[in-house]
């Protein structure tokens, strides 16, 4: 059974505080006889130590519950008040329990001194206050350290995202295919070639702007996806289809930039696109602020080497930005990615 931990420094605190607490408490309860008589020292120390550790673990569990029950900063005073009251009650019950045990042992070597009970209870309260102050200081430091670590992770993820975006901007394979398509269009259809250049410029303009913000609206992503898909459809013709069913109420929602481009690129990269095997891609919104991107599966016979940059990059950005988790489903008929849509603040 795993014992409750209130802090990563539990063991250190127990080693530093519990022995001193046990010694002083027994001295207050039993007087100098505690130090002079070996039998008294052994019995009282073992009994007090076991009871102290039990009380410590109980208080830890209650402290963890109160942290879950009152997690907000503005609830700190309320949480600490409950914690102090509970720990004081446990501590006083513990002291009365020890007095009762010494009374039941009924040995002249364990002299009862009821007059010292108020002093014992006051000492216990002071120890409880000290432990709570130490623990709250440690937890505050751990929270600050965790927040700092998450900030650094977000910075690193952002830098990695910018690098990945830059790499996709100058992807030589994509650029080579686009220029080949453009070269063919110039000879066959000058008007279509001009439109292709406009859409290609729109795609690269959006790619360059994507590094300026960590989030993009769904409306902007959909507009970019249409421009990007125009390049694909010019290359693959009627063999590739894109359908959209997006509720207008979600167009102002946010998601990481280039998300749709990465998903479209993955669909094209990993599937056969032929007249008798067209690729169908759909983008639709679902209830509970979700965007679903789906394509039919017709995997290429030659497995494409993939470093999973696309999906892992999207998942990392969602996780570190607090946007939730993406869901990826592959049932051998359809490949489906479900994305959370974030409401603007």
Nearest to 33 by CA among 102, 101, 136: 102
Last residue of a domain, one of 131, 152, 173: 152
Domain assignment present for 128: yes
Domain assignment present for 134: yes
- Whose tokens are 């207050």? That residue is 28
Last residue of a domain, one of 129, 152, 175: 152
One domain for residues 124 and 26: yes
- d(CA 205, CA 199) in angstroms, rounded, equals 10
pLDDT tens digits, residue range 185-241?
676 667 777 777 887 777 777 777 766 677 889 999 999 888 888 888 888 889 999
Domain assignment present for 4: no
- d(CA 125, CA 117) in angstroms, rounded, equals 12
Last residue of a domain, one of 113, 137, 152: 152
pTM, full prediction: 0.51
| Pairing verdict, β 240-245 and 279-286 | parallel
- d(CA 199, CA 224) in angstroms, rounded, equals 9
Eight-state DSSP code of residue 303:
P
Report residue 172's pLDDT band, with 50, 70 and 90 as the boundaries: low
Domain assignment present for 276: yes
Q: Is the pLDDT of residue 3 over 60?
A: no
What is the total count of domains within the chain?
Answer: 2
Cβ 290 vs Cβ 250: under 8 Å: no
Domain assignment present for 84: yes
The per-residue pLDDT for 250 is 94
Domain assignment present for 201: no
Q: Is the pLDDT of residue 161 over 70?
A: no
The per-residue pLDDT for 307 is 46
- Greater model confidence, 258 or 250: 250
Query: What is the per-residue burial (b if ≥16 Cβ within 10 Å, else e) of 304-330?
Result: eeeeeebeebbbbbbebbebeebeeee
One domain for residues 22 and 107: yes
The per-residue pLDDT for 340 is 94
One domain for residues 232 and 131: no
Compute the average pLDDT of residues 112-122: 74
Give residue 332's domain range. Answer: 215-340
- d(CA 299, CA 182) in angstroms, rounded, equals 27
């Amino acid at each position: 059974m795993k014992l409750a931990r209130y802090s990563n420094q539990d063991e250190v605190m127990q080693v530093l505080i519990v022995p001193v607490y046990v010694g002083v408490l027994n001295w207050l309860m039993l007087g100098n006889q505690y130090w002079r008589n070996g039998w008294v020292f052994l019995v009282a120390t073992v009994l007090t130590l076991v009871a102290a550790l039990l009380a410590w673990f109980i208080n830890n569990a209650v402290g963890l519950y109160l942290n879950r029950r009152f997690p907000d900063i503005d609830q700190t005073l309320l949480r600490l008040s409950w914690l102090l009251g509970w720990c004081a009650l446990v501590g006083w019950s513990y002291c009365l329990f020890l007095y009762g045990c010494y009374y039941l042992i009924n040995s002249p070597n364990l002299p009862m001194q009821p007059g010292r009970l108020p002093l014992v209870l006051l000492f216990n309260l002071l120890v409880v206050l000290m432990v709570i102050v130490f623990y709250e200081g440690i937890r505050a430091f751990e929270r600050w350290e965790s927040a700092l670590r998450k900030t650094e992770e977000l910075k690193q993820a952002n830098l990695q995202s910018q690098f990945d975006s830059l790499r996709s901007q100058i992807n030589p394979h994509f650029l080579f295919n686009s220029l080949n398509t453009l070269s063919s269009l110039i000879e066959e259809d000058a008007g279509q070639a001009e439109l292709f250049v406009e859409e290609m410029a729109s795609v690269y303009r959006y790619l360059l702007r994507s590094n300026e913000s960590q989030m993009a609206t769904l409306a902007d992503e959909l507009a970019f996806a249409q421009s990007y898909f125009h390049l694909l459809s010019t290359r693959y013709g009627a063999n590739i289809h894109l359908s959209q069913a997006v509720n207008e109420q979600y167009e102002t929602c946010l998601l990481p930039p280039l998300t749709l481009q990465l998903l479209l690129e993955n669909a094209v990269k990993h599937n056969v696109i032929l007249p008798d095997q067209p690729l169908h891609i759909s983008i639709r919104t679902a209830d509970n602020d979700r965007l679903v991107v789906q394509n039919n599966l017709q995997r290429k016979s030659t497995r494409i080497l993939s470093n999973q940059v696309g999906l892992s990059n999207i998942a990392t950005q969602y996780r570190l930005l607090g946007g939730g988790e993406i869901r990826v489903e592959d049932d051998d008929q359809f490949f489906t990615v479900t994305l959370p849509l974030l409401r603007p603040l």
